[in-house]
Chains A and B, each alone.
Chain A
């Protein structure tokens, strides 16, 4: 068994109105934007054009530094990283190498909030501001490349973690936690799929050299690539080999493959930018104000849901994934629990309501089932008018027949004949007796061969017989008492 060590380098596009060093609009996230339509002189590096720093990008980077618990530097500077590439019009990228905006952060991945087996602290080495490049569009038919400069000069934050991960689940949890933080503080859209977040991974085993994995599109691909790479490296070492050189590898969906090795690595000739002034911050003034302007942190929000609302981590995660759904839940809770004193609607919301949405192929919207209607519906469940079984059917119906939401719900239940059969009523007894009569073979198995498991079959038959209007618990009880009395006919 070899020890696994992983570090991440994450590029994040900042959600600013304009680009990092020019006044063109930053709207690459809109995929319909016409290529090369959001481009100013500096974005294509026209000689004689000069960069002008967008202060909004600094604010975004600072928010990110707060989210990652970093030390913010009072003075940070820009450097040039040189390399030739078609979509890099300056011939260098303006970035921060020697004096970054923030360093030395720490993120705690926990059992409580991240569902890990044990807590793990991940060090953050650096957060730096830099420009994005243009986008190369390779044309396979004639071998040429088109370049779209809309992305050129969009502000990025590059965050580098220490190699503190020793388990793939930690990586998954970290990426999730990071994107949640970005969304919560409105720093970035948080999407990996659109390239708004790009993750590079450094993986090594034992004391061997690290391998860099680049251009992996999604979290699941990242997890698979690391898993593959771990196995590959273990195999190399187990076969008597050794990994002594830094190598960059890509991911094709099934396996990692070599992109370049140390011999053809580039000397980036980093140089302090000779014309951009240093960013000087009055930290004692800026940081408290900025912190005050931020919404509650993701973990504080989660803690509130766990403690105050008594939710399980799984449900908390579902709500945290969708701010509108979360707000809907809080309103529903207010109405149902605080005002009416009914039980927590979380299961009905997260399992049944969202389940109905999936089955009906609908997107969540609070208009689909307004709070008032939802609350009236839950009252019927709570007072036993509607069984859970029929409740689910009714919910599905209401979702797909919006006009029936206008009908008073009790009337609707009546007209569908869904009103449940009472727990000790005659009707329930009749149903049970009928089912027992018609399923003698099963009954024998249960009573004579003690196959208690077959009881569920009878319960199911009762449900069918009643059209779902009986409560499973009540049926079980009634069946049990009837079976006590049961004797074979002959």
Chain B
């Protein structure tokens, strides 16, 4: 985890930075692989609920345990990352990297404001963020749970669909889990013969600061889509997209500052053990235990929720978020599954398509020098869709380049189905 899923670089993780498998790294940053062993209770033994052991079990019980060995990489103390190495993106950068490096067929990650789509884009993999509430968050450590969404990264669409079908179930344990009757399943007439698929291109995404390489790729893609006889392209306007970065960072930091307040060192996790007379060592524990980016976000969120900032920041952001959702609803043809009476435009589009990132992934050494605010700008293409909770998938289109296909809330299978059609052609 990149500091509690915060940040979009995956450079600050507990076990060191995650590098992007698409780029060359000449020097191995690992000095050695150390073999580690642990013992796990066998599934059919009566010890099944016991903890795993890190030392050999006693002779009486040893038959009831499996001995499991694994290699633990030990980082060099003075490694250098190649000058041309680019970041993997984050925060589910580890998940994307392990898919890109063919270590696994798929990986599960979470996407709050682009944490699946951005690393998928940077590693040229498929990264699917379903509608908010579609996959249970039970057991997931909350970062900003009005946005946190579990998603899937893979190189193959059919694998993503297979995994999604398994996970796409209502969970009583998660209060935000989508009710069974709000989950649109397959509908045969989505792409009936003769009806053209309407794709919207939000004019607000034509950003000035988009990298020239990306801009060029984007034009190529549009040209290709234009030539497809089954597709019609429409410019659409969602004016509030221009507010979505500040709205996103206001809401996300507020929720994070709240959610992380349980990490006070009293019941679990790090504790500074430096007592003061007036309080348990909350201040020292949290100052020492959290990383810089986490502390920065807690501070921002605390301000937004304070009596000074609540109306002017938090509530304002909340209102703008509602406006953004209404604007998305006004351009989609399908009805929003949670607010069907306020959505469904017959003349609307089936999908929205837009780039996933504004530029190629940064060179690692340069990223270390970018300011936090500058790094937040990388999320400009992904956060509006997160704020609206819409299903979307990053489809790779060149090295570390990709675009997002976005559908109406609840229409996850429609997105996957159309993604398959686009990928084929």
**Residues in chain A within 8 A of chain B (CB atoms):** 44-48, 50-53, 80, 82, 84, 86, 89-92, 147, 267, 269-272, 274-277
Contacts and interface: CB of A to CB of B under 8 A. Distances in A.
A48 B175 contact: no
B175 A275 contact: yes
Interface in B240-277: 254-255, 257-258, 260-264, 266-268
A89 B144 CA distance: 18
A440 to B, nearest CB: 82
A108 to B, nearest CB: 36
Given A45-B262, A267-B306, A271-B314, A86 B255 contact: no
Interface majority SS on B: helix, strand, loop or mixed? loop
Nearest to A145: B280
A269 B172 CA distance: 29
Interface residues of B, number: 36
12 contacts: A45-B267, A46-B268, A47-B268, A50-B138, A80-B258, A84-B261, A91-B263, A267-B307, A269-B257, A269-B305, A275-B176, A276-B175
A92 B280 CA distance: 16
A271 B175 contact: no
B145 A274 contact: yes
Contacts of A271: 254-255, 258, 305, 314
> Nearest 9 A-B pairs (CB), nearest first?
A91-B261, A274-B146, A269-B305, A47-B141, A48-B139, A45-B262, A275-B145, A91-B262, A84-B282
B146 A275 contact: yes
Nearest to A52: B175
B255 to A, nearest CB: 5
Interface majority SS on A: helix, strand, loop or mixed? loop
B174 interface: yes
Contacts of A86: 266, 280
Contacts of A267: 306-307
Contacts of B310: 269-270
Contacts of B174: 50
Nearest to B172: A52
B207 interface: no
A52 B137 CA distance: 13
B172 to A, nearest CB: 7
B154 interface: no
Given A84-B282, A270-B305, A276-B175, 20 more contacts: A44-B267, A47-B141, A47-B262, A47-B268, A48-B139, A48-B140, A50-B173, A50-B175, A52-B172, A82-B261, A86-B280, A89-B267, A91-B261, A269-B306, A269-B307, A271-B255, A271-B314, A275-B145, A275-B175, A277-B176
B302 interface: yes
Contacts of B172: 52
Contacts of B137: 50
A51 B175 contact: yes
A430 B302 CA distance: 94
Contact of A90 (B262, B268, B282, B314): B262
Interface in B276-321: 279-280, 282, 302, 305-307, 310, 314, 318
A389 to B, nearest CB: 67
A314 B23 CA distance: 89
Interface in B167-187: 172-176
A276 B139 CA distance: 16
A53 B175 contact: yes
A42 to B, nearest CB: 10
Contacts of B254: 271
A89 B267 CA distance: 8
Contacts of B264: 84, 91
